[in-house]
Amino acid sequence: MGTIATRLFLSYLAVIAVGLIVAALAVGGLLLRYENDLTRVRLDELSAPLATSIQAALRQGRQTRDAVGVVTDQARSVDARVLIIAPNTRRVIVDTEGSLEGQTLPSVDPGTGVGTFREKEIEWSFVQRPLLQAGTMVVARPRAVFADTLRALSPSLLVSAVIAALFALVVAGLLARTITDPIRGLARSARTLVPSGYRTRAPVSGPNEVRALAGAFNDMADEVARARGSEQAFLADMSHELRTPLTAIHGFAQAIVEQEVKGEGIPWAASVVQREARRLVRMVEGLLQVAKLESGSQAMAREPVDVAALLGGAVTALAPQAKEANVAIDQTSSPLPPLRGDPDRLSQLFLNVLDNAVKHSPPGSTVAVRAESEDGDIVVRVRDDGSGLPQGAEARLFERFYRGENAASRDGAGLGLAIAQAIAQAHAGRIEARNVAGHGAEFAIHLPLR
């Protein structure tokens, strides 16, 4: 009972057994009805000449018993008996066997036209015909005579049932295999998924439910493979990004220890170590923040937020950097409904996107910031006049450590947009990036109001 194939086979076997029992009961009922009909027909055929002979004898003036005696031998030759009963009381007046005289005979079944009575463990079937002068004539035969038909058909019926059962069992086995074979294939695919490097895929076959299960398994395997690929790429990028500041810190620290740097060079070397250490700390903190946001473990406030005010604060905070880069920031906002969210995280989101736009804007250009309500979302669009996004970069912009070939500065860790996207997603939103004809890149921040 431990395998699906066994359970399916036994369930099919149970269905077959129930079907055969029902069929046997139906055939038995039909045979019983056929036997009753055949009994009535044969007894009617037998009683007709007997009634004619008795009527002729009665017309000749013979007594009822003598008239019945004329047909006694004829009735016994066909294993039958003749009885005469009183029409009102159904009491037996004459019996060719003599054993039922004086007794009361049961009535005939109005549905079949046949009656039965039992004598000495023998069940008799009978029909009756009215006699003009002497009541009612009854012709009876042992019921076992008519059971011969059933006994004759029983071997054929039994053979047919056995053949049907065997055929049904073969079909049940085949049906069970059509279901279990795809499941076994799915189990094999699951066992070999990891050893194959997540390249194994399950065959999509069998019933619709099993095909859906195999399809879901393959989708899961694709997602796991992509996640593994992203994880490996992330580890490779992280190793590369961490190596640069660690190499600088190690090199200058070793130079100080080994007194290769002396005098006025020591403060300069120490400042380099400090700068790279801060860069390393920022990188690690950024990675931890992205991980917490993506896993949902970062505590997020849910309070009414004035998006226009947050944007204004971000623009003010970046004003010195923009002035140094000779880049203007033009902010316009239409009346906006309050948004429920975390003001600190949203402020960080706007700062990161604006900082990215300022860094990629040439001197003398303008970064346009527009905020509006659109289809149940608050949409903040930040557009610069830089060189735009490299071809195919739209899909990678928000990956950790990604920096485009046209990045204006290599000092960043490549985590700003990844953090911004994670914050937007934590608010059930998203950030989309595209190139704008005649300008540079545009980042659209979608934040649902609900």
pLDDT digits (tens, 9 = 90+) for 258-316: 877 777 778 888 887 887 787 777 777 777 777 777 666 667 778 888 888 988 888 88
Domain extent listing, the chain: 4-150, 216-295, 303-448
Name which of 73-77, 177-181, 380-384 the model is least confident about.
177-181
Give per-residue pLDDT as tens, 115-156. Answer: 888 888 888 888 888 886 668 888 998 876 555 656 666 777
Q: Do domains 4-150 and 216-295 have the same CATH topology?
A: no
The two structure tokens encoding residue 6: 């066994």
Per-residue confidence (pLDDT) for residue 9, from 0 to 100? 67
Identity of the residue numbered 234: F
For the residues of 357-422, what is the DSSP string, one character each?
HHHTSPTT-EEEEEEEEETTEEEEEEE--SS-PPTTGGGTTTSTT---TT-S-S-S-S-HHHHHHH
Confirm if 367 and 358 have CB atoms less than 8 A apart. Answer: yes
| C-alpha distances out from residue 107 to 32, 33, 249, Å | 20, 19, 118
Closest CA to 237 of 430, 413, 362: 413
Q: What is the 3 state secondary structure string of 46-97?
A: HHHHHHHHHHHHHHCCCCHHHHHHHHHHHHHHCCCEEEEECCCCCEEEEECC
Question: Is the model's pLDDT at 409 over the cut of 60?
Answer: no
Per-residue confidence (pLDDT) for residue 231, from 0 to 100? 67
Give per-residue pLDDT as tens, 182-198. Answer: 777 878 888 887 787 77
Q: How far apart are CA 297 and CA 29, in angstroms?
A: 72
Per-residue confidence (pLDDT) for residue 391, from 0 to 100? 77
Angle between helices 208-257 and 265-295 (to 10 degrees): 160
Name which of 65-79, 154-168, 323-337, 397-411 the model is least confident about.
397-411
Give per-residue pLDDT as tens, 43-96. Answer: 888 888 888 888 888 888 888 888 888 888 888 888 889 998 887 888 988 888
The two structure tokens encoding residue 187: 């189990």
pLDDT band at residue 403, thresholds of 50, 70 and 90?
A: low
Strand-pairing partners, residue 448, are: 377
CATH of domain 216-295: 1.10.287.130
pLDDT band at residue 410, thresholds of 50, 70 and 90?
A: very low
The two structure tokens encoding residue 4: 């699906």
Angle, alpha carbons 65-66-71 (nearest 5°): 95
The CATH T-level fold of domain 4-150 is Beta-Lactamase (3.30.450)
pLDDT band at residue 201, thresholds of 50, 70 and 90?
A: confident
Per-residue confidence (pLDDT) for residue 444, from 0 to 100? 92
Mean pLDDT in the chain?
Answer: 80
Give per-residue pLDDT as tens, 305-330. Answer: 888 898 888 888 888 888 999 999 98
Mean pLDDT, residues 210-232: 79
Confirm if 132 and 57 have CB atoms less than 8 A apart. Answer: no
Class of the 303-448 domain? alpha beta
Kindly report the pTM of this predicted structure. 0.49
pLDDT band at residue 97, thresholds of 50, 70 and 90?
A: confident
Question: Is the model's pLDDT at 446 over the cut of 90?
Answer: yes
Mean pLDDT, residues 364-383: 90
